[in-house]
């Protein structure tokens, strides 16, 4: 395609918009202070003159690309879709954009890291997969901060933000126990991910403390997906050699939703009367009328803010934060899938149902 021979400059834009050249620069600089009206004038003039600031040319000087890589697993778990949305919205407000890298289930992120380094990203957010210490060092040596989201990697000096998943697993165990459950099943996710392993560990530990026998706690692979959890629930509950457990813990909400639908619509069971169910995450989908899922809320917006503060993209010359692992407490949200014991004392503002995340 022919390119325009006379490219408009920021001087032309400033003249047409009736503002200073510095205002033009600020209109296109992330996080700059500029009146919205002035910004609109600049954008309108830029539009008329087909002026486009070249941030890649400028990134060669400033070493900033304004691109942040986000490594995602599959998008079948809405929790990660909401995570992506939250990061994209916040970063875009700062004049940055998200570059997506998808990693297959069970794969490590090393190859994705090699590729993303070629894009000169300003930072990396890892929401799925494992990461070798070598790849972490490779990013850090190049001055590219990494933040792990909703996970940690033992022995790695990559920093991370996560919910205290073990403590959350304990909360679910306590809710089931308070409602009188004596036998339990768990639908688990990727065994290599700390997220699933920690929830399982906290849940089981708390049950054992209460004198529950290990043989009364069944673990079933649910693949972190609705469909796999649905099918695993049908298989588990139609096994003639097993008695029906009192309580089923989907270690994330999307699996608990699959289990609920299998119990009610395939197996004709009532929840919570015949069997209680709980999830983890508090995704908006689990709050819908047919589900009203009792769960542990992950404070996703708070986690996104903390993750971005660890990356400190606005201060690239500050040393990279290493080895931070600051677990955030999740909150138990009572809804309708575990009977609330009469003696239960409601924590402040947590009577379940219609509240949305603050």
Site residues for its own copies per CB under 8 A: 1-4, 28, 43, 46-47, 50, 52-56, 65-67, 74-75, 81-82, 84-85, 88-89, 92, 95, 97-102, 110-111, 114-120, 134-135, 138, 140-143, 226, 230, 261-262, 264-266, 288-290, 319-320
CB of 75 to its own copies, least distance (A): 5
Q: Specify the residue, 61 or 289, whose C-beta has the smaller distance to its own copies.
A: 289
CB of 274 to its own copies, least distance (A): 17
Q: Facing residues of 124 across strands?
A: 69, 146
Question: Distance between CA 287 and CA 338 in Å, rounded?
Answer: 14
Q: Facing residues of 48 across strands?
A: none
C-beta of residue 51 within 8 angstroms of C-beta of residue 8: yes
Question: Distance between CA 80 and CA 86 in Å, rounded?
Answer: 10
C-beta of residue 67 within 8 angstroms of C-beta of residue 96: yes
Question: Distance between CA 329 and CA 201 in Å, rounded?
Answer: 16
CB of 167 to its own copies, least distance (A): 29
Q: Specify the residue, 65 or 188, whose C-beta has the smaller distance to its own copies.
A: 65
| 230-241 residues labelled b (16+ CB within 10 A) or e (exposed) | bbbbbebbeeee
C-beta of residue 76 within 8 angstroms of C-beta of residue 253: no
CB of 85 to its own copies, least distance (A): 5
C-beta of residue 306 within 8 angstroms of C-beta of residue 324: no
CB of 329 to its own copies, least distance (A): 27
CB of 261 to its own copies, least distance (A): 5
Q: Specify the residue, 87 or 184, whose C-beta has the smaller distance to its own copies.
A: 87
Q: Specify the residue, 217 or 255, whose C-beta has the smaller distance to its own copies.
A: 255
Query: Alpha helix locations (H) across the chain?
Result: 10-17, 21-27, 36-49, 55-62, 78-93, 110-117, 133-141, 165-178, 194-209, 226-237, 253-261, 300-311
Q: Specify the residue, 42 or 171, whose C-beta has the smaller distance to its own copies.
A: 42
Question: Distance between CA 161 and CA 166 in Å, rounded?
Answer: 14
CB of 214 to its own copies, least distance (A): 32
Q: Specify the residue, 117 or 328, whose C-beta has the smaller distance to its own copies.
A: 117
Q: Specify the residue, 165 or 292, whose C-beta has the smaller distance to its own copies.
A: 292
Q: Facing residues of 307 across strands?
A: none
């Amino acid at each position: 395609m022919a390119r325009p021979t006379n490219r408009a400059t920021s001087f032309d834009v400033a003249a047409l918009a009736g503002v200073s050249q510095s205002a033009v620069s600020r209109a296109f600089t992330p996080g700059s202070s500029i009146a919205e009206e002035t910004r609109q004038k600049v954008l309108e003039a830029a539009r008329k003159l087909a002026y486009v600031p070249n941030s890649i040319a400028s990134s060669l000087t400033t070493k900033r690309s304004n691109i942040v890589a986000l490594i995602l697993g599959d998008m079948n778990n809405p929790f990660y879709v909401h995570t992506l949305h939250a990061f994209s919205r916040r970063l875009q407000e700062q004049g940055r954009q998200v570059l997506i890298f998808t990693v297959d289930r069970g794969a490590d992120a090393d190859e994705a890291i090699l590729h993303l380094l070629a894009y000169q990203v300003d930072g990396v957010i890892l929401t799925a997969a494992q990461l070798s210490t070598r790849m972490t060092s490779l990013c850090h040596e190049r001055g590219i901060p990494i933040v792990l989201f909703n996970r940690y990697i033992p022995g790695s000096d990559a920093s991370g933000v996560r919910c205290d998943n073990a403590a959350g697993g304990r909360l679910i165990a306590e809710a089931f126990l308070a409602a009188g459950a004596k036998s339990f099943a768990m639908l688990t996710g990727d065994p290599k991910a700390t997220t699933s392993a920690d929830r399982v560990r906290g849940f089981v530990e708390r049950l054992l403390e209460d004198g529950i026998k290990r043989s009364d706690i069944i673990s079933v692979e649910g693949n972190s997906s609705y469909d796999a959890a649905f099918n695993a629930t049908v298989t588990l509950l139609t096994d003639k050699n097993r008695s029906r457990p009192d309580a089923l813990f989907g270690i994330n909400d999307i699996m608990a939703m699959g289990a609920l639908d299998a119990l009610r619509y395939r197996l004709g069971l009532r929840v919570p009367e015949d069997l209680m169910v709980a999830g983890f995450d508090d995704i908006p989908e689990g709050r819908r009328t047919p589900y009203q899922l009792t769960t542990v809320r992950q404070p996703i917006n708070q986690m996104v803010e903390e993750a971005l503060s660890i990356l400190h993209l606005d201060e690239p010359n500050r040393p990279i934060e290493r080895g931070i692992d600051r677990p955030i407490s999740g909150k138990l949200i009572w809804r309708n899938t575990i009977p609330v014991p009469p003696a239960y004392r409601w924590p402040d503002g947590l009577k379940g149902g219609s509240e949305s995340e603050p």
